[in-house]
Amino acid sequence: MTQTYVIKETDVQALASAESFARGQHYFHDGAVLEVTRRGNLITAFVQGNDYEPYRVQVTLADFGIAETSCTCPYEQGGICKHIVATLLTSIHQPEAITEKPPIATLLADLTAEQLRQILLAVAEVG
């Protein structure tokens, strides 16, 4: 099922503190959002922050809006962090920057049991 909900800036503001939203706007305008990918209702991104390695952001959308968010940064002040804000602002204002990919379930749907087993074994060896 394709997500039809359109994220609005007011949705993002409602999830963030005023400070996180303002800082996220700066990150967005400064081009800190490096990669944004969308697979169905899942948006992932890498956002350059204070660490050497970019932070990984995930946003899950639902029919009613933003269902779930996560970021690898240590932010624990309440609401969403500036990296999630920057990612969402990118998806609102620069949709052309998003790489669209099919959902994982779609990619796996036509595989045989043996092909799926090989993928699971390969993933298990990496982890």
- Full-model pTM: 0.82
Chain segment 18-38, per-residue pLDDT in tens:
999 999 999 999 999 999 999
- What's the N-to-C CA distance of the chain in angstroms? 30
The closest of 40, 47, 54, 2 to 23, measured between CA atoms, is: 47
CA–CA gap between residue 71 and residue 113 (Å, rounded): 33
Chain segment 111-127, per-residue pLDDT in tens:
888 988 888 888 888 76
Amino acid at 74: P
CA–CA gap between residue 60 and residue 79 (Å, rounded): 15
Please give the structure tokens belonging to residue 90.
């990118």
**Structural contact between residues 72 and 80, judged by C-beta atoms closer than 8 angstroms:** no
Query: How much is the pLDDT for 73?
Result: 95
- pLDDT for 74 beyond 60: yes
